[in-house]
Amino acid sequence: MSPIPTADLPRTAELHGVDAADFTARFRAEVLPANRPVILRGLVKHWPVVQAAQVSDQAVCEYLLPFSSGARIPLTLGDPAAGRHLFYREGMAGLTFERRPTALLDGLRLLLAHAADATAPAIYMDSMPLPACLPQLAGALPLPLMNPQVMPRIWIGNAVRVQTHFDLAQNLACVVAGRRRFTLFPPEQLPNLYIGPIDFTPAGPPVSMVDLEAPDYDRYPRFREALAHAQVAELDPGDALYLPYAWWHQVQSLSGFNILINYWWTDAPPPTKPFDALLHAVLAFRHMPPEQQAVWRGLFDYFAFEQHGPALAHLAPEHRGLMGLSSAQQAEAIRGILGEAFKRG
């Protein structure tokens, strides 16, 4: 077993000069419909927080602190024996890290004290919504291409490695300080990534069980096929990466002090909980005979995914039942039906 030679993997496509005034229209017309990852070089180099980070780690910390709300935030501390890999322990006996609340000032002091220490454990303040921890900072992050209703989140840590996972949202990840490497896999590589459980995960979504630093091809032979479709994106301060919905990605911070600000959004009307639906589907269909599963696959394609056009389009809207309601009415009605169904067991 040896580390994956990321230098040999294809590079993610790049766009340059993306700070031009007309880029918002180009992003919506070209990047989003293509549904492929794209590096947007220099997209946020004009942010004051990025410019502070270019001065020094200390300078960007001093820039951030006046924005702090004083709220305690989650601090992740890794097991020193895990090599800053945020993952499962051997035998899946727990996780290689623990979380505890801390003040932003204390978390930054801890990071600065160990930024040059290659033997320090993982130190990570992850996925903090700016309104909760740095409420005024969002106003200092001009980014016309993002809907202002999409709230940014901030990630601050040392050189940690986050296991290959996906997000049920589109993602614009903007590097403020340090360097980052994303190893990317398209959604259809799911069967070749050897996914862990969906009900016991390091941070929400399920993760690949394959360690990119030491892939075990005897145990995970189909991972070679996943690698054949992989690509790598390396970002410097001021760069951003657009990740389409559900693209798998391992994220590796490459510097002793790193800050990333990202935006997650989805076009699905809230609230949606697809993993709840997936668990319900597992309960309902997993043990059906194959010929019955095929019937339900067709029903899902027709009613849920509308592969053949709008469901029940041959009926007048008032005759379509749930399928004729507005999204909000439909969601309320279905939740009521499901609530009663689960009460009955």
Is the per-residue pLDDT at 250 higher than 60? yes
pLDDT digits (tens, 9 = 90+) for 195-244: 999 989 998 899 999 999 899 999 999 999 999 999 999 999 999 999 99
Which pLDDT does position 11 carry in this prediction?
97
Residue 279: how many other CB atoms lie within 10 Å: 13
Query: What mean pLDDT, rounded, does the chain reach?
Result: 93
Among residues 130, 126, 156, the alpha carbon closest in space to that of 143 is found at 130
pLDDT(334) > 90 = no
Under the banding of pLDDT at 50, 70 and 90, the label for residue 117 is: very high
What does the pLDDT read at residue 327?
Answer: 83
pLDDT value for 8: 85
With tokens 């997000």, the residue in question is 167
Q: Are 133 and 106 in contact (CB under 8 A)?
A: no
Residue 313 has pLDDT above 70, yes or no: yes
Closest CA to 123 of 112, 138, 132, 134: 112
The whole-angstrom separation of Cα 115 and Cα 110 is 9
Confidence of residue 26 (pLDDT cuts 50, 70, 90): confident
pTM score over 0.85:
yes
| pLDDT tens per residue across span 258-271 | 999 999 999 876 66
- Kindly indicate the confidence band of residue 4, based on its pLDDT and cuts at 50, 70 and 90: low
Q: Which pLDDT tens digit goes with each residue over 270-312?
A: 666 788 888 889 989 999 999 999 999 999 999 999 999 999 9
What angle is formed at CA 132 by the lines to CA 106 and CA 53, rounded to 5 degrees? 55
Angle between helices 104-114 and 57-64 (to 10 degrees): 180
Nearest to 79 by CA among 93, 62, 65: 93
Closest CA to 157 of 114, 214, 191: 114
Q: In this structure, are residues 96 and 120 in contact, taking their beta carbons and an 8 Å threshold?
A: no
Query: Quick one: how many helices (H) and strands (E) in the chain?
Result: 10, 14
Question: Strand 14-15 to strand 38-40: parallel, antiparallel, or no bridges (unpaired)?
Answer: parallel
* Percent of residues in the chain assigned helix, strand, coil, to nearest 5: 35, 25, 40
**What does the pLDDT read at residue 3?**
62
Confidence of residue 5 (pLDDT cuts 50, 70, 90): low
- Tell me the C-alpha to C-alpha distance, in Å, between residue 77 and each of 39, 74, 176: 30, 10, 22
